[in-house]
Chains A and B, each alone.
Chain A
C-alpha cells in the first residue's frame, strides 16, 4: 500500500464514520447492541435483590447454617429431622391439597415449603405430609452456571443476532445506502482507486461496528460481574479466568465484525434487497452444523463458535437437531479459526473489489 492510498483511506474513513455513527437509520443497531447490556443489568439487579433476601433469611435463622448442613438434607427425611439439622425455617409456607383416591373419595395432603440460606446459597425444600419431596439448592455465586449463562447470551443473541444484523445494517449500506441516496457518484468522481475506496469504507464500517459491539461486550461484562461483591469479583476475574474470557469475547466480537462485515459488504453490492442475502446467510449459518466439513469452512459462525471460551453443555434429553446447534461438534484450534475467518473475509473482500470496479452510476434503475 502506498502513502497516497493510505491518505485516501483515512479521508474516506473521516467521511464515513459520521454517517455510520449518527445515521438515523442506524439507531436500531445501538438498541440491539444495548439489549444484552440491559439484560445483564436486570440480571445483576435481580441477583443483588436475591442476595439481600438470602442475607435476611440467614439472619432470621435460629442459628448459623453451613453449606454442608444444607447439602446433608436428602429426599424422604422427615420435617423433624430437617429441623433438627437446620433449625426451624425462617421462611415456612403451608397449605393443604386434596388428592382423589377413588371414584368418590379424596385424601388431604399437607404441603410445606421451607427456605433456608447461609447468606450465599439458598435451599428450597418441598415437603409432602411431613416428608421431604423436592430439594432445590441455588448458589448465589455459581461461576459455572453464570459463565454458561453469559456464553448462551453471547452465542445465541449477541453473535447470531446482534452482531449479525448490526453488521448487515452498517456494511450493506456502505455502497447500497449511497446508491439509494444517489450520492455514490461523489466518491466515483474522485481520483481514487475503487479498491482503495472499498477498503476505506470497509475499515470505516469495521471501526463503527467494533466500537459499538466491543463497547457493548465490555459493558455486558461489567454488568455481569456487577452483582458480585468485590472479593468474589476478584476471585471470578483472576482465579476463574473471568478476565481471560472477557478478553476472548472481545476478540471474538472483533472477528465477528470482520467476518460478517466482509460478507455483507459484498452482499450490498450484489443485491438490491438486503432481506434476501440476510435470510440466505442466516440460514447458511443456521444449518452450518449439518453441513459437510468442506462447506462448514465457508461460514463465519463455524470459526467463531470454535473460539468461544465456554462450551454450552447439552442437557440429556435435548432433541438431536437442537443439540447439534448448541454444541460445536467439530471445533478447530484457535489459530486455525482465526486464520479461517480472516481467509473468509479476504475472499469476500476480493469479490467486493472485483464488484466495485464493475459498478456503474445508474440511479434511475434503482
Chain B
C-alpha cells in the first residue's frame, strides 16, 4: 500500500522502558490526531515514522518508503519536532534556507522558497533575527516553517500549536486544513483534546505505549459498548419527550436541561432510539435539534483512557 503510512507490529523499547508496543496502523490522507497523555508514546510514534528512532521490532513504511531511507523519505515528509534546540547562531531565515540547501536545492531557489515558508507562518518581520532571541511562539512557528518549506506530502507535527497565541493557532489550523484538503497526510499530536476534536478527520488514541483506538471519532465512539450513547435533544416539551422515551427498555437515563428547552438522554441502542424519535416527532412534539453529546474526542478519551492529564 503506497498511499498510506503503515505500521506493522511495531514496538520500540528504550532499554527496558516501553516506548510503544505492537502498533498496527494504516493512516490515510487527511488530518490524523494523535491523542494520549504524556508518556503515552505519541512522540515515539512520530519519531519512528520519521526514522529518528529505529523500531525494536516491526516495519514502518511512509507511502511505500522505508524510514531508514532519509534521502527519499524526507522528500515526502516534513517534521516539526518538540525539540526546542536549533543550530547555533542562525537567524530564522538562515535556519529555513540552510535546511532547503541540505535538500539539494540551488541557492536562489532555496532563498525564494525559504521566504515563502516564512510568509506562510507569518514570521517575516523576525526572519532576520537570531533564533536565540525568539519567543516560544516564534520558535514554534519557525519549526513549522521548516516542516512546511519543501511542500511535503506528509506533515508530522508534534504539539504544533504549543506556545502560539489564539490568532496564530487559527492561522496554523487553516494551513493544516488546506494541506489536508490538498491530499496531504497531516499527523498532529496534542494533549489539548478540543483542538484535536476540531481539526482531526481521524484520531489515534494512545495509552502507555499501546494504541487503544483508531479511526473516525464517531466510529470509535460506536465501538465503545460499555458506555451508553448520550444524545441532547432540543424541543418544546422535554419532560413529555423523556417520559415517552422511558417506556422503552433501551433508555437508561434522562436529565432535563436547565433552560427547560432540552433533554439529555442516555441509551444503550442508538439506532432504535433514533427510530423512536421519528415517531415522537410525528406525534406532535416540536424537535429543534438532535445532537450526539459524547461522540467527541474528549468523551472517547475519557471512556478509553480516563481523564489523566487531559487539557480540555
Contacts and interface: CB of A to CB of B under 8 A. Distances in A.
Nearest to B54: A360
Contacts of A33: none
Contact of A188 (B51, B75, B88): B51
Nearest to B90: A15
Interface in B202-251: none
A321 interface: no
B299 interface: no
B285 interface: no
B158 to A, nearest CB: 11
B7 interface: no
A191 B98 contact: no
A41 interface: no
Interface in A311-366: 357-358, 360-363, 365
B104 interface: yes
A363 to B, nearest CB: 7
B53 to A, nearest CB: 5
A185 B98 contact: no
Contacts of B14: 362, 365
B103 A191 contact: yes
A194 to B, nearest CB: 7
A124 B86 CA distance: 66
Nearest to A178: B87
B147 to A, nearest CB: 8
B46 to A, nearest CB: 11
A191 B54 contact: no
A266 to B, nearest CB: 20
Interface stretch (A4-12, A91-99, A216-224, A270-278): A4-12
Nearest to A365: B14
A7 B70 CA distance: 16
Interface residues of B, number: 31
A190 B99 contact: yes
Given A11-B98, A194-B70, A185 B54 contact: no
A175 B249 CA distance: 67
Contact of B85 (A11, A183, A194, A358): A183
Size bin of chain A's contact surface = 20 to 34
B183 interface: no
Interface string A1-35: 00010011001101100110010000000000000
B86 A183 contact: yes
Nearest to B81: A185
For chain B, what secondary structure do more than half of its interface residues adopt (helix, strand, loop), or is it mixed? loop
B107 to A, nearest CB: 9
Interface in B146-165: 146, 150
A55 to B, nearest CB: 53
B47 A361 contact: yes
Interface in B75-103: 75, 79, 81, 83, 85-89, 98-99, 101-103
Contact of B53 (A7, A357, A360): A360
A18 B47 CA distance: 29
A189 B79 contact: yes
Contacts of B86: 183, 186
A361 B70 contact: no
A10 to B, nearest CB: 8
Given A8-B104, A12-B102, A361-B47, A191 B81 contact: no
B70 A192 contact: yes
Interface string B97-140: 01101111010000000000000000000000000000000000
B74 A19 contact: no
Contact of B68 (A19, A183, A357): A357
Contacts of B87: 15, 19, 181, 183, 186
Contacts of A188: 51-52, 70
Given A188-B52, A190-B99, A191-B75, A181 B85 contact: yes
Interface of B: 14, 47, 50-54, 68, 70-75, 79, 81, 83, 85-89, 98-99, 101-104, 106, 146, 150
13 contacts: A8-B103, A11-B102, A11-B104, A12-B102, A183-B87, A183-B88, A185-B52, A189-B99, A190-B70, A191-B75, A192-B74, A363-B83, A365-B14
